[in-house]
Amino acid sequence: MKRELGIARCGLACCLCSENTVCHGCDSGECPDKDRCENRRCSMAKGYDHCYRCRNHCRKGLLSKIKPYGFTLFARRYGEAALLDCLEKNEKNGIVYHREGLVGDYDDFDDVEKLIAFIREGKR
Which mean pLDDT values do the consecutive 10-residue runs of the chain (124 residues) have? 89 82 74 85 94 93 95 97 97 89 89 98 90
Say what the alpha-carbon torsion angle 46, 111, 1, 91 is, to the nearest 10 degrees.
Answer: 160
The predicted model scores a pTM of: 0.91
| pLDDT on residue 20 | 63
- Spatial CB neighbours of 58, under 8 Å, sequence gap ≥ 6: none
CA distance 60 to 1: 27
Give the up-direction half-sphere exposure of residue 49: CA atoms within 13 A in the CB hemisphere. Answer: 7
| C-alpha separations of 84 from 5, 35, 61, 71 in Å | 10, 27, 22, 10
| pLDDT on residue 98 | 85
| pLDDT on residue 4 | 86
| pLDDT on residue 111 | 97
